[in-house]
Amino acid sequence: MAVVGKALKHNSDGVQADAPPAAQRDNWLPAPKGSDFTLYVRAYWPKAALVDGTWMPPAVQRVS
């Protein structure tokens, strides 16, 4: 997820309920603690591979 005016930073912050250290919060996506989480992909002007189902986003991996 990119925030307008901020560059995406690649690190291990990810999606979690508890806030990571301040240095990793730029890309952090808060998730509900102790309940289900649903992830959506939003595509603007998608290429044919996304529309016809030949491309799939990478699987979400649990990191503990």
List the domain range (segments joined by +) for residue 59: 1-63
How many folded domains does the chain comprise? 1
- Return per-residue pLDDT of the chain as tens, 64 residues: 444 555 656 666 566 788 888 877 777 778 888 888 788 888 898 899 999 999 988 887 776 6
Q: DSSP string spanning the chain?
A: ---TTS----SS--EESS---GGGTTS-EE--TTS--------SS--HHHHTTS--PPPP----
Q: What Rg do the C-alpha atoms of the chain give, in angstroms?
A: 14
Enter the pTM of the model. 0.41
